[in-house]
Amino acid sequence: MLTIEQRRAALLGQLAELDAEAQGYARRRSLLEELVYVEEALPTPPATAPEVRTPMRVIKGAELRRVAGRLLWTSQREDEIHYREWFERVLAEGYAIGGKDPVASFLTNIRDSPAVVRGSTQGYYRLDRSGLAKTSQQLGETQAELVDVERSIKRAYAGGDNQSSIRGLREHRDNLKQAMKRLEGKMHELHYIFDEETAGAGADVGVAETLRAAA
């Protein structure tokens, strides 16, 4: 028979997977709605960016988020900006945006940035340093849970629990490891954008160090 703790661990792992899938669908739907609304219903602010530098280097994904975020932080800190103007500023720095639709790719990526929040008006965004503290807290909580689950696995082996219950705990541990890696990636991205020293992040100690602490 599975214990309450083991059943909880298995269900939490399944819930995390479902949450991630639901959030992905929600982000894609929200992106399409914003593109349609902003591009068709509202006038786009006039482009005032300087002439684009050459040669251009194609950026996408995490690199795009880091470059765009660092550029905005060094130029205007947390002031709001329309994503079209932000896009033009990145181009003006000599970068090209990867993807079939560069504007849509740019908007998708900045919306996924842990440093970016929506502005007060549709189509506007700004940087928010509070993401550093929030992500650090999430990382610390995930570390603590990972230590607890690792110790539960050891107790389960020592107590001769059945393989099904141990497998559920191991799956939960694997999900926590993946969550930690994602959070560590977010922390490094935030540090880069806000020009923070990564060495000062006490919670950012890594999965290996966390597992050694559970030994």
Say which residue the tokens 């509070």 belong to: 130
Helix, strand, coil content of the chain in percent (nearest 5): 65, 5, 25
Alpha carbons 193 and 139: distance in angstroms, whole number: 18
Say which residue the tokens 């006490």 belong to: 202
Alpha carbons 70 and 18: distance in angstroms, whole number: 32
* 151 DSSP 8-state letter: H
The amino acid sitting at 6 is: Q
CA dist 148 → 45, 105, 161, 166, 213 (Å) = 52, 40, 17, 14, 10
Give the model confidence (pLDDT) of 158-179 as tens digits. Answer: 877 778 888 888 899 999 999 9
Residue 156 has pLDDT above 70, yes or no: yes
Chain centroid to Cα 60, Å, comes to 15
Residue 124 has pLDDT above 90, yes or no: yes
Q: Which residue has better confidence, 51 or 109? A: 109
Q: Name 59's bridge partners.
A: 97
* pLDDT at 28 (0 to 100): 57
Average pLDDT (31-43) is 50
* pLDDT at 16 (0 to 100): 67
Ramachandran sector of residue 99 (left: φ over 0; alpha: ψ -120 to 50; beta: rest): left
* pLDDT at 57 (0 to 100): 87
User: Looking at the whole model, is its pTM more than 0.85?
Assistant: no
